[in-house]
Amino acid sequence: MDVEPRRAGFEAVAQELIEPLRRYLARRTDAATADDVLSETLLVAWRRRDEMPAEPLAWAYAVARNCLANADRARRRQDRLLVRIWQVARPPEHAPARDDPDPALAGALARLSSADAELVRLWAWEELGAAEIAQVVGMSANAVSIRLHRARKRLRSLLDEQAEGERS
């Protein structure tokens, strides 16, 4: 089996996926983690290139989502270890907060369930349709449509509540 044509084919697909995946990850985590997860996502895509569909973006988002979940689990394990260490040593005064371009939106998204917030992000930030979102999150397109409709309605309500609170 000749590796060069397969490699060239994968590299062409990967070039189309890198920027959308980079944006997807940058919206969900810090820059260093996003770079690590992007690398891991491309590695998984290379290993599973025979499973990659003709339109690979939603499939790649699903892979990235799983890789990000793995990175989050690793970070939580590391955080638990740090807590144990901090019980012995003095903890730092505070960790720097991540800047968010729209604090009202970030606050409203944080009040949604994590599953609903992810549906809204995939729809709004990644500009995916229900069928593509369904592929990313492993649900039916119909279920995604219904849940996305409800999540958007709830988000609008939360944003309206915040705006009303600011006017009062």
Residue 31 is encoded by which pair of tokens? Answer: 């820059």
Instruction: Specify the DSSP element, H or E, that contains 126.
Output: none
Q: Are residues 76 and 127 in the same domain?
A: no
98, 126, 145: which is the final residue of a domain?
Answer: 98
Domain range enclosing 63: 1-98
With 0-12 / 13-18 / 19 or more C-beta atoms within 10 angstroms meaning exposed / middle / buried, residue 10 is: middle
Q: Are residues 56 and 108 in the same domain?
A: no
Find the range with the poorest average confidence among 90-104, 119-133, 148-162: 90-104
- Decide which of 15 and 93 is more confident: 15
All residues at 6 or more sequence positions from 137 whose CB lies less than 8 Å from its CB, including other chains: 62, 65, 115, 118, 119, 122, 144
pLDDT at 101 over 80: no
Q: Are residues 143 and 68 in the same domain?
A: no
Return the percentage of the chain with pLDDT > 90, whole number.
Answer: 54
According to the model, what pLDDT value does residue 92 have?
Answer: 42
pLDDT at 97 over 50: no
pLDDT at 16 over 70: yes
For the segment 56-76, the average pLDDT, to the nearest whole number, is: 94
Residue 38 is encoded by which pair of tokens? Answer: 């992007």
For 129: left if phi > 0, alpha if psi spans -120 to 50, otherwise beta; the answer is beta
Segment 81-90 long-range contacts (CB within 8 Å, at least 24 positions apart): none
Q: What is the pTM of this model?
A: 0.61
According to the model, what pLDDT value does residue 90 have?
Answer: 46
pLDDT at 163 over 60: yes
Mean pLDDT, the chain, rounded, equals 85
The number of domains in the chain is 2
The CATH number covering residue 112 comes to 1.10.10.10
